Structure formats: structure tokens, C-alpha cells
A and B are shown apart, each in its own frame.
Chain A
Amino acid sequence: MTHKKVCILGAFGVGKTSLVARFVSSIFSGKYHTTVGVKIDKKDVLVGDQPVTLVLWDMAGESAVSRLKTTHVNGSAGYLLVADGTREETLETAVKLQKEVAVIIGDAPFILVINKTDLIEEWTIDPVELEQLRASGWDVRMSSAKSGDGVEQIFYDLAARTIQPAGDADVQQ
């Protein structure tokens, strides 16, 4: 079976681990567990009729005490940049990380995920900034690891792009 390494990147506390837990195990815990180093999970999906094992590298969140270890993204077929809609500074972190990752692995497909739609009334991220990113070619999605909103589609779409860069493959679980 084809294995595709996918990294999940973003500032600390944006919900990277929760998104993976929602996608892999369909579970959500409201308790915050900070990831140390990297957490690796696997999930088998079908891209069209091609079975693919996604090897999900859930990286420790970016912060003053935890910086992206650039070698960790080596070999990635694609990546998710995760930001927290309620913390506008996490979008800056995502944009910064994208630049760093692009230097290491080049033009790999990625999706910017603005997480926590369940708290959308508390969002501080500027929609204009998101529109600007979309206009520059970024795929920007909304999700809630808590409710599951948007989560599976994001992972499936990224899986499809790791196989077919055009990104219009028929993907099934």
C-alpha cells in the first residue's frame, strides 16, 4: 500500500492533535494535552480506487519553547497548516510556517485549516486576511475538531492531492 507522510503544523493549542484524533479515531477530548516532539498516527483511506496509508505527523505546536524541527517535515507528501479562529496570532504563525516548510519540501500540497468553528462567535481572525490568502491561491478551510465539522473532507482532499496534484480525485474512506 502507498504510504504518504502528512505533517500537521501550527501554533500551540490550535487543535492539531484534536483534528488528528477526530479523523483517525472519531473522538474529541476537551482537555488540552500539549504534544511534545511529534505524535505519529496512521489512517488508511481510498483515493479513487487506490488505497493509501496516511502517516500523520502531528508536530509539537510552535511557541517560544518549541520551534519546528525542520528535519521532521522531510519526506512529507503534503501538510496541514492549522490556526485557531479565536486567536488571530495563530494565523501569522501558520503563514510563517508555510514559508519555512516550502523551503524544505518545496511545492508540496497543503491546506490552511482555521479550526474551532464551534466557537465562531469568539473568532478574532480577520476574514479579509483569509480572503487575501485564498486570492493568492491558498486552500483555506474551516473545521471543528469538537463537532467534526469539515475534518474528514480536509484530510481526504489533502490525501487526494498527494496522489493527484490536480486535487480533483474521488476520495473515499
Chain B
Amino acid sequence: MSSNETDSSFNPLASLLAAMDCMVWELVDSDSSLVPISAAPAWFEDIIPAGGDRRDFLSLLPYLELFIPEAIETWNEGKGCTQSDFWSQTTNSGDEVHLLALAVLIEGRHFIIVRSAHELYEERQRWQLYAHETTIQLKVIERLKGQVEESARALSAANDQLSELSIRDALTGLFNRRHFDKIFDLELSRAMRGGEPLSLLFMDIDKFKLLNDTYGHSAGDDCLRAVGRLLRDVVRRPTDMVARFGGEEFAILLPATDGVDALQIANSINRAIRALEIPNKGSEVCPFVTASLGVYTRQPDGDRSTAQIIEAVDAALYQAKHEGRNRAVVAAPHQR
């Protein structure tokens, strides 16, 4: 654009704006056409394609098609000026030029100013890039947090399972000896504090070795599992506890149970096991599996240690065996 195309009455302003890398037009009301009033800065020359019409401003700067109606609306609202968002265009040399448009009303005349704003754009771009990276990092953190929570839940479930397994006998699913010892201690302390009776049954499957030798260890395992199921069925109170003590020996802890009830339970177990009719043909006691039981009930002023109680109930069990098996024997007073 030659300097003689500029508006002489705005020459000082036009010169100033041109020096600031701005392109200035006046919007002529009659047909809303753009009349240039400043010399074209280098960036404008660089976006005119070969053979292109340098006066086809809206084609050269398509953003103005949106901005001019916005500017007119602003002026109609009585506001003096408005500024556009950034836009970028590719120059003939393949570089990008980043532009901002300003609409101003001066002495009743409407001007559109477009300027390159490279540094401002880059500053905004850095800030926006940082915001985007932060958004992505927050997403990653959110996803990792979800994964950590899921892992923690799985670990907790595995720990629960492990904890359960650590107190169970693998073959019968009953509690194991270690857990029995722990609970027995607690229940004895509770019985001593509360002044309640506490009963303990020791049970041994009669001639179990013979059963194993006759029918094989698999049959022996089946027998132990069946007896385990039966004991769980017979001993149902939440505070009662059945444990496999080792081999074919079982312990049944009966808190708040007196001697009469304990013996009744022991006899029920004895009968129920026989009623299972698990073959043990070599046994001289019975052609089916039977069990011997020792019964001990601690009175409120009775023995004070688990060892004393186990010794007493073990002696009762030994006596049941000695008297011919397939029976329940209550621990004698001297055994208490």
C-alpha cells in the first residue's frame, strides 16, 4: 500500500500505528467497507498470496468477518472499543503470524486495527501449555490414585483371606490348634472374670490308624472331613468353637456351658458320629467309625490355667479309650 492511500487527517495516528506494526482501516458506514489509513506492515505484505488481491481484506484476514460484526455490536452498545481473541495465519514463507484486532471509536469514526502480537502470543501459549500439561498430569494422578485404591482393596481382601487361612485347618476347614489356643485363653479369662462355667471336650476317632491302613489315607481324609462337618453342625452357638487339634483329635470349646449340658453334647456327638456309618470293619469296637470323648467343665472357682484344663480333659479322654472307646467320660474330680 502506498502512503498516498492513507487518510491525511489521521496521518500522525496512522504513522504511529504503522510504526507499532499495526494495520489500520476505517470502517465506512455507508457500505461497511474497510478503507486502509496506514501503510501496510511487513506481516501484512507477507500474507498476500502471489497474484492475490491486496484490497480483498476479508479474504486475506478471514477473522475480520467475525470480528467486524462484533465490533459494530460493541459500538451500537455505546462502548468505545473491543479487542479480539488471538488468531494465527500462515505467511507466504510458511511462518506463522499471530494477530490481534482492536475496534476503536475516535471522534465518531470507526477504526479496525490489526497488529501482530508474537511475544504476547508466546507468553499466552506457554501459560496455556502449562495448564494443559497440568490437566494431563492431574488425569494421570487420578488414574494412578484409582489403581492404588484398587490395589489396596485387593491387598486387603488377600490379607483377609490369608488371615482366615492362617487360622483354619486345610483338610477339614475347622479352626486349627494355634487359633484354638488363642481363643481358649480368651474364653478362660472371660469365664474367670464373669464367674461362668466353661466346658471343653476332647474327641479322638477310635482306631483311626486302622481305618487308614484298611481303606487308605484318602478314606481317612474323607472321614476327617465328614467328622469336621458333623461337629460344625452339632456345635452351633456363635461362641462355641470346634478345632482340629491334630491328627484325628478334635477340641470343642463350650463357653457358658455347665457339666450336664457338656456331657449331653458329648453324647450327641458320639451318637452322631456312629450314625455316619463310616466303615471301619477292622475295629473291634464297631464296624463303623466311632469316637471317644473326654469332658471337662471348669467351675467358677476351678483351675486357673489352660494347661491344667487340657491335662484334665486329656486324662478323661484317655480314660474313655481305656474303658473300651466309643463313649464320653467326664473328667473325675481329681482330674479337675
Contacts and interface: CB of A to CB of B under 8 A. Distances in A.
B125 A33 contact: yes
A133 interface: no
B1 interface: no
Contacts of B131: 63-66
Which of A34, A65, A69, A74 gathers the greatest number of chain B CB atoms within 10 Å? Answer: A34
B114 to A, nearest CB: 13
Interface in A4-52: 5, 12-13, 24-25, 32-41
A72 B66 contact: yes
A71 B86 contact: no
Contact of B86 (A25, A36, A89): A36
B88 A89 contact: no
B281 interface: no
A75 B65 contact: yes
A97 interface: no
- List the 3 closest A-B pairs by CB distance, nearest first: A37-B86, A37-B85, A65-B131
B88 A40 contact: yes
A55 interface: yes
A158 B177 CA distance: 77
B136 A38 contact: no
A3 interface: yes
A12 B66 contact: no
B57 interface: no
B306 interface: no
30 contacts: A3-B59, A5-B62, A13-B132, A25-B94, A32-B129, A33-B125, A34-B128, A36-B86, A36-B125, A36-B128, A37-B86, A38-B63, A39-B88, A40-B62, A40-B87, A40-B89, A41-B90, A57-B62, A61-B132, A63-B135, A65-B128, A65-B132, A66-B128, A66-B131, A69-B85, A71-B66, A71-B70, A72-B85, A75-B65, A75-B66
Interface residues of B, number: 25
A31 to B, nearest CB: 11
B304 interface: no
Which of B63, B88, B121 gathers the greatest number of chain A CB atoms within 10 Å? Answer: B88
Interface in B71-113: 85-90, 94, 96, 98
B55 interface: no
A89 B62 contact: no
Contacts of A40: 62-63, 87-89
B139 interface: yes
Given A64-B135, A65-B128, 5 more contacts: A12-B135, A24-B90, A32-B129, A39-B88, A61-B132
B71 to A, nearest CB: 12
A81 to B, nearest CB: 19
Nearest to A53: B59
Contacts of B135: 12, 63-64
A41 B62 CA distance: 9
Nearest to B90: A41
